[in-house]
Amino acid sequence: MGLRTSRGVSVDEALRMVLTLPEVEQRVHGNHLGFRVRDRGFAYLCEDDWTMLVKTSREEQAALVEDDPRAYKKAHASGRVGWVQVRLRKAHEDELCDLITEAWRMTAPRPILARLDLALR
C-alpha cells in the first residue's frame, strides 16, 4: 500500500474514489449501494454504518486484516477472490483509494483496462 495519510474517510470521499473510475455504475441493493463495471460488482457501500465491502485477492485480504484490524475485517472469500470490510472512519484515504482502484482493475474487462492504460501513457 501507499504512504499513509490521516485516518478517516467520509462517505462522500469514498463515493468520489469509486465514481471517478471509468464505466462505473451504481445500483441500490437494500441498504447498500453496489458499484459495478460492465455488470460485475467490485465494491459495496453501506452508508448507515460507514462501511464498505471491497473485492481483493485472498492474500491482500489477509495482509490488510493483519496490518490494520481496526480498519479492515475479513468479509468472505470465494476462489481466488476475498472481500474485505472497510470501516471508513478507521481507514487511511490513500490505502482505500488504492484498494478501490485495484478492485476495479480486477473486475473490469480487458478492453477497458487497455484503453485506460493507453490514456495514462
Total domains, the chain: 1
Q: Is residue 6 part of a domain?
A: no
**Average pLDDT of the chain, as a whole number:** 89
Q: Is residue 78 part of a domain?
A: yes
Write the CATH number for 86.
Answer: 3.90.1150.30
pLDDT tens digits, one per residue of 10-48: 999 999 999 999 999 999 988 899 999 999 999 999 877
- Whether pTM > 0.85 for this model: the answer is yes
pLDDT band at residue 114 using 50, 70 and 90 as cut-offs: confident
Q: Is residue 2 part of a domain?
A: no
Q: How far apart are CA 95 and CA 84, in angstroms?
A: 13
Contact present, 57 and 81 (Cβ < 8 Å): yes
pLDDT reading at 58 higher than 90: yes
Half-sphere exposure of 110 (CA within 13 A, CB side): 0
Tell me the residue range of the domain where 109 lies.
Answer: 11-120
Q: What is the pLDDT of residue 33?
A: 94
Contact present, 88 and 8 (Cβ < 8 Å): yes
Give the cell for residue 112: 477497458
Q: Is residue 82 part of a domain?
A: yes
